[in-house]
Structure 1
Amino acid sequence: MLLLATGFAWKKGQNTAPSRKPNIVIVLADQWNAQSLGYAGNADVKTPNLDRLAQSSVVLTTAVSSMPVCSPARASLLTGQYPLTHGVFYNDRPLRNEALTLAEIYKDAGYATGYIGKWHINGQANYEKQFAARNRAVPRDRRQGFDYWKAREVTHDYNSSFYFDENDVRHEWPGYDAFPQTDSAVSFIDRNKTNPFLLVLSWGPPHDPYQTAPEAYRKMYDPATLKLRPNVPDSLQARARKDLAGYYAHCTALDKSFGDLVAALQKAGVEENTILLFTSDHGDMLYSQGKVRKQKPWDESILVPFLMHYPAGLGKSKRILPVPFSNVDILPTLLGITNIRIPETVEGTNYAALLAGKQKPTGEEASLIQVPVPFHENNFLNGGKEYRGIRTKQYTYVRDLKGPWLLYDNAKDPYQQTNLIGSPAYAAVQAKLEKKLRQKLAEAKDRFLTADAYMKQWNYRYDGKDSLRVSGL
């Protein structure tokens, strides 16, 4: 199925690429949820550059983080595999060298490859000093095919940030790190404008801490004036407004950098022939449902922004697609667009023809969502639990190990305030979604075992208190 023709040039047994291969730039923000953008209908947040680009892009409004947490989502983007296949289903665990990745594939196709910013898939295989790998250089053989290298495993101190270069030499990012990181991306683009290139620019914000964007951007937002989602409990609204103001300040600062990046592509004369993709690894609850941050199955956690701008291949008109599209689908879709054969290791779906408007949605599309092991702030003691679910265009359906847990009709209940599990009026819908979930689990070879089973299978140990279960779970 993954090797079917996509509507782009394809001949049996060989790839037929355009006379000049398209460049690829992936801009990956950390913890930017789908609703915190002007083009998504948010009247409070200021994102003029992203809003402008959306007017000439394909906009996916149901883009899903299959496992909504940092390391698993990033490993899935690079491999096109689900977390239980590539093994990074727990933060700060390493993506194996055996994995076939985005950069390795495009490097073999003649692309220059570059990575700038947060990496977060080279953690320790097991617990030593917690998060010890976050401050170490990523060895050359662990960079998964990226040659140009200005990266650090992870930091959330955006104003006192360092990185390692290709030779493992440490350097400081001056000021708010997203700004000089984007400058480095501009330099990479200018240096490689006559050759095909793949670049990933990975920002740390708007991930908390929320109050650390440059002062000029923080001054743009008054917490008292911000509109909250109706699923934020009254008791948390003051805290939510304060954090939301800082979160939006980060978003607006990043939007400025995004504008600089687009201007650089235009100045270099490569915008038309560049696939520019903007997305995030996962969302942020920001007190919706009374929850914070990620790993949760609600839309604020699993839905992420997704813009694809490629004038030469997708045209210059805005097209909105509500089709569920997972980060597992990014790699096969890019390969489809650029006419490169999709390896058998890839588990995601190639949606190139759909994005190009050469194929219509079937209405049966669904994205799998998984948390095989709840950990850290979402560990068992904090109420976390193993779950599997699907997000379709209209519905969210989730099971835990005990059975059906959540069912939402997102068309009628966009803030997911009414759980319909067991509702007689939705019995047929629930049965159909259960069948679809079982199908997706079979495709992903996911047997939905306990967290302990997967930790044992991969020879991982829990960090700190993550393995302690609350009585009755």
Structure 2
Amino acid sequence: MRKIQFMALLAAFIGLVSCGKEHKKPNVIYVFADQWRAQSTGYAGDVNARTPILDKLAQEGINFKNAVSTCPSCTPYRASLLTGMYSTTHGLLLNDILLDPESESMAKIYKKAGYNTAYWGKWHVGGPYRLGYISESNRQGFDFWKVMECTHEYMDSWYFDGNDRNRKRWNGYDAHEQAKDLCKYISDHANDENPFLAVLSWGPPHDPYFQVPEKYLDMYSDLTNIVLRENVPEDYKDEALKMLQGYYAHIAALDESMGWIIQQIKDSGIEENTILIFTSDHGDMVGSKGMKHKSNPWDESIMVPFLLKYPDAVKEGRTIEMPIGTPDILPTLLGLCEINTDLKFEGSDFSDILLGNEDEFENAALITNPTKNVVKREFRGVRTSRYTYVEDLTGPWLLYDNEKDPYQFTNLIEQEGNDKLKAELKVKLTTALELANDEFLPEQDYLERFGLYITPGGYPPMNLEFDPNK
């Protein structure tokens, strides 16, 4: 009799423990690169990209085919990721601007929900001192901290470790070393009572394209083997090939690093209850349309890879066609983690679509450039699963049918027969602007509203001197 009672109590205890484990909120590991365009992956069809790890992740997880970098520049993206707000609300319209330390942001919300928080790599929402010490009050709730505000010296890269004002150097290619350090963190915290939020922000494949170990450059030593996108102009091909050698070398190196992270998640026994995301802050023209870098409304600039895996709750092996924008990421992650908050985000929570509780719909992701940075004009637009529609302050500017014209050769804005389509897309843009509380004003209005100054070159002042007291 006593034996039966003991076994019943033991079974009840095991059941309670199991229930406790089942109800532990998922870990979140958010890895994002800098300037990695959506087109430059193997699973997206790029024959140059050596991305076997990401290709497998795309097959096993969820591939957001139309993920849009809403304001495609480093600082605006990061601020929208952290806050779930658009740039015309949080005020970080350009690089090298400080995110309000009082912002209700990602790590603060997760900490209130019982999470440990950690961040590695490039921060770039801490103001103009790119190599300066970032005070605890400006870390937006992240506790574990191995970060530099902004550096692209990938082979000679410095960082600050927590509250130590003496900077340290990563030993070699910083993206590899940061990934290894994340792996150690995963191993050390896999069995903690509390879940963790871990964010890794890589600097590559952002230029300089040749700050990468030689073995990856050697993969692309024969430039004649690199296949250019069809929209690279003839007179730009030589320069594009040189850039792409290093660009793809970085991509191969980062893909290998993702392999280490994924393997560590498996080895630590937390794969089922971990949300893993890989993405990028924005894309890179890298020669397409004869252009470089970002902040443009064309797909190479705004479209980013976005892969998500969460075996416990999300059906795997899916491609989601519905566009999503940067401000949607935080509310969607909070929804997946079942974290309730009274905060009102401008982005949308699409977690029910990921969980299979709702169907996809024809969303229109907003594209913004509130300043004249890079393209020398302010613009707003929408990216649907098929069309790109963009206006500047003078009226309609761009219209592309991305299904028929994936390289965006033909601007349909002045062509006859498109009035109905233009009207429909204008309504989508108007609706998106209303949801974003975006009045679409001239640059100067926003600079005055947020007390910003930009140099004649079009950027806020920055400081590249190292001063631990700044």
Q: Name the structure 2 match of 1:154.
A: 150
2:74 to 70, 79, 96: 70
Task: Answer whether contact 1:332 1:346 (CA < 8 A) is retained.
Answer: yes
Q: Name the structure 2 match of 1:370.
A: 368
Q: Name the structure 2 match of 1:104.
A: 108
CA distance in 2, matches of 1:96, 1:238: 43
Q: How does 1:46-445 map to 2 (within 5 A)?
A: 46-124=50-128, 133-168=129-164, 169-195=166-192, 196-221=195-220, 222-315=222-315, 317-363=316-362, 365-375=363-373, 378=374, 383-445=375-437
Question: Please, what is the CA RMSD of the aligned residues?
Answer: 1.5
Q: Deviations over 1:66-89 (max 9, x none)?
A: 000000001100110000111111
Tell me the amino acid that sits aligned with residue 200 of structure 1: V
**SS of residue matched to 1:89:** coil
Q: How does 1:3-82 map to 2 (within 5 A)?
A: 19-82=23-86
**SS of residue matched to 2:307:** strand
Task: Answer whether contact 2:388 2:401 (CA < 8 A) is retained.
Answer: yes
CA distance in 2, matches of 1:342, 1:323: 25
CA apart distance, 1:362? 2.1
CA apart distance, 1:300? 0.2
**SS of residue matched to 1:424:** coil
Task: Answer whether contact 1:112 1:192 (CA < 8 A) is retained.
Answer: no
CA distance in 2, matches of 1:18, 1:76: 31
Tell me the amino acid that sits aligned with residue 347 of structure 1: E
**SS of residue matched to 1:39:** coil
Task: Answer whether contact 2:322 2:361 (CA < 8 A) is retained.
Answer: no
The 1:344–1:291 alpha-carbon spacing in structure 2 relative to 1, beyond 3 Å, is same
CA distance in 1, matches of 2:244, 2:357: 39
CA distance in 2, matches of 1:17, 1:93: 41
**SS of residue matched to 2:202:** strand
CA apart distance, 1:18? 5.2
Q: Deviations over 1:153-195 (max 9, x none)?
A: 0001100100001113311101110111111101111121123
User: Normalization by structure 1: what TM-score?
Assistant: 0.90
Q: Name the structure 1 match of 2:17.
A: none
Q: Deviations over 1:421-462 (max 9, x none)?
A: 032221101000011101111111111111111101111111
Over the matched positions of the two proteins, sequence identity in percent amounts to: 48
Q: Name the structure 2 match of 1:454.
A: 446
The 1:335–1:18 alpha-carbon spacing in structure 2 relative to 1, beyond 3 Å, is farther
CA distance in 2, matches of 1:357, 1:408: 31
Tell me the amino acid that sits aligned with residue 369 of structure 1: I
Higher alpha-carbon Rg: 2
Task: Answer whether contact 2:68 2:325 (CA < 8 A) is retained.
Answer: yes
- Which of 419-428 and 447-456 deviates more? 419-428
Tell me the amino acid that sits aligned with residue 336 of structure 2: I
CA apart distance, 1:45? 1.1
Task: Answer whether contact 1:64 1:302 (CA < 8 A) is retained.
Answer: yes
Q: Deviations over 1:313-341 (max 9, x none)?
A: 113x3101111111110001011111112
CA distance in 2, matches of 1:386, 1:204: 27
Tell me the amino acid that sits aligned with residue 205 of structure 2: P
CA apart distance, 1:146? 0.3
CA distance in 2, matches of 1:190, 1:245: 34
CA apart distance, 1:345? 3.3
CA distance in 2, matches of 1:264, 1:206: 23
Tell me the amino acid that sits aligned with residue 403 of structure 2: A
CA apart distance, 1:36? 0.7
CA distance in 2, matches of 1:341, 1:424: 49
Q: Name the structure 1 match of 2:462.
A: none
Q: Deviations over 1:17-50 (max 9, x none)?
A: 9511100000010000001111111111101111
CA distance in 1, matches of 2:224, 2:421: 41
